[in-house]
């Protein structure tokens, strides 16, 4: 396969660095697009200088974006929720004029193809992006997309106590804590993106699901108890109630409340019955060459985070 040129939009944040590391490890020529004047700096590690270019762009300038994407084959977006559709729409339009062949939008989370998830307001911009991409692909046969879903960020969320709090030995058990949900390490998401790029035909205009493991909150707590023997303080909540409360929080003028509403919608999408948070039986792990974690691997990860 000829060497491909990848543009990564959003090389910082939680996920961007993991995807960048995987792209460079696969020897893929990568251009990271950053906003003009951005305070975030992309570290260039020794040995990657020949593969990596960091380019400041004006997202409000079509000319600037088209110029940045000239010679690019694949665009990967890891942008956050803020103004997501507005910015991705501009990048998609520029991608078409720059003759980019594949666009991988900022998904990498809950199953926003699921009809119930699509009703939650948090995912509105992701849905708009999907629909816009589908329309553009229908009009331009040489253009294509891949939607990538990983559900929960396994290592990142465990470190910050969202699934269960390993440091404080506390947990909010959603719908009882025995709901299986898919979870994926950031490094695995990076490997999955590389595998999609290496399998462009098989992933053309597809929704691709992958995970490291399907696990429950109570299973994670049992693993932690085996490791340090400490007792846990837990409370059970209904994801239906969490969703209802999230809608109330959205009305608040307090940005912190609005942020907590987002977490509520994510919890509903992850653990709510029928919301598709367990990818078991429909993953593309085999195609992407991603083995599932063993129970020993999972215990090792929990042990590392407990420290």
pLDDT tens-place string over residues 114-170 = 999 999 999 999 999 999 999 999 999 999 999 999 999 999 999 999 999 999 999
Residue 283 lies in a domain: no
Looking up tokens 């025995």 gives: 178
* Cα of 205 vs its chain's centroid, Å: 18
CA dihedral 145, 58, 150, 218 (to 10 degrees): -160
User: Do 205 and 99 reside in the same domain of the chain?
Assistant: yes
Alpha-carbon separation of residue 174 from 32, 63, 213 (angstroms): 38, 47, 18
CA distance 252 to 64: 37
CA distance 262 to 278: 20
Residues whose CB falls within 8 Å of the CB of residue 206, separated by 6 or more in sequence, listed in order: 146, 147, 284
Cβ–Cβ under 8 Å, residues 112 and 141: no
Residue 284 lies in a domain: no
Cβ–Cβ under 8 Å, residues 15 and 155: no
* Cα of 107 vs its chain's centroid, Å: 5
The reported pTM is: 0.95
Beta-bridged to residue 75, according to DSSP, are 7, 103
User: Do 202 and 225 reside in the same domain of the chain?
Assistant: no
User: Do 234 and 271 reside in the same domain of the chain?
Assistant: yes
Burial 144-172, CB ≥16 within 10 A → b, else e: bbbbbbbbbbbbebbeeebbbbbeebebb
Residue 107 lies in a domain: yes
CA dihedral 262, 10, 111, 196 (to 10 degrees): -170
Domain of 73, CATH number, reads: 3.40.50.720
Residue 223 lies in a domain: yes
Length of the chain: 307
Residue 71 lies in a domain: yes
Domain span at residue 160 reads: 153-181+213-278+289-306
Q: What's the token pair of residue 90?
A: 């501009």
Question: Helix 255-271 crosses helix 239-250 at what angle (to 10 degrees)?
Answer: 150
CA distance 289 to 241: 39
User: Do 157 and 204 reside in the same domain of the chain?
Assistant: no
Cβ–Cβ under 8 Å, residues 192 and 290: yes
Walk along the chain (307 residues) in steps of 10 and give the mean pLDDT of each run: 86 90 95 80 64 92 96 96 95 98 97 97 97 98 98 96 95 98 98 98 98 98 96 97 96 89 96 98 97 96 94
Looking up tokens 């078409």 gives: 96
Domain of 253, CATH number, reads: 3.90.25.10
Residue 40 lies in a domain: yes
Extended strands (E) in the chain: 5-9, 29-35, 52-57, 74-77, 102-104, 144-149, 152-153, 170-174, 181-184, 206-209, 213-215, 233-237
User: Do 69 and 171 reside in the same domain of the chain?
Assistant: no
Looking up tokens 């409000």 gives: 60
User: Do 82 and 138 reside in the same domain of the chain?
Assistant: yes
Burial 27-38, CB ≥16 within 10 A → b, else e: ebbbbbbbeeee
């Amino acid at each position: 396969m000829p060497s491909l040129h990848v543009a990564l939009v959003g090389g910082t944040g939680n996920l961007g660095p993991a995807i960048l590391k995987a792209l460079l490890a696969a020897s893929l020529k990568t251009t990271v697009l950053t906003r003009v004047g951005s305070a975030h700096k992309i570290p260039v590690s020794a040995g990657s200088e020949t593969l990596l270019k960091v380019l400041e762009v004006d997202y409000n300038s079509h000319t600037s974006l088209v110029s940045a994407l000239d010679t690019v084959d694949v665009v990967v977006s890891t942008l956050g929720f803020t103004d997501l559709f507005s910015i991705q729409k501009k990048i998609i339009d520029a991608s078409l004029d720059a003759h980019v062949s594949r666009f991988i939008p900022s998904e990498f989370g809950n199953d926003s193809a699921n009809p119930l998830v699509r009703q939650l307001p948090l995912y509105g911009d992701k849905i708009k992006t999907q629909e816009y991409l589908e329309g553009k692909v229908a009009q331009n046969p040489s253009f294509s997309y891949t939607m990538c879903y990983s559900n929960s960020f396994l290592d990142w969320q465990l470190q910050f106590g969202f699934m269960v709090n390993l440091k404080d030995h506390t947990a909010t058990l959603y719908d009882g804590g025995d709901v299986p949900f898919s979870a994926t390490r950031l490094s695995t998401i990076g490997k999955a993106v590389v595998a999609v790029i290496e399998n462009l035909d098989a992933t053309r205009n597809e929704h691709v699901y992958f995970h490291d493991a399907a696990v429950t909150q109570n299973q994670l707590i049992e693993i932690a108890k085996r490791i340090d023997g400490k007792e846990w303080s837990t409370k059970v909540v209904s994801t239906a109630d969490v969703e209802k409360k999230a809608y109330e929080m959205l009305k608040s003028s307090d940005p912190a409340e609005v942020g907590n509403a987002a977490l509520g919608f994510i919890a509903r999408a992850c653990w709510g019955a029928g919301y598709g948070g367990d990818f078991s039986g429909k993953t593309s792990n085999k195609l992407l060459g991603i083995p599932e974690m063993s129970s020993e691997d999972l215990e090792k990860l929990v042990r590392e985070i407990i420290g």
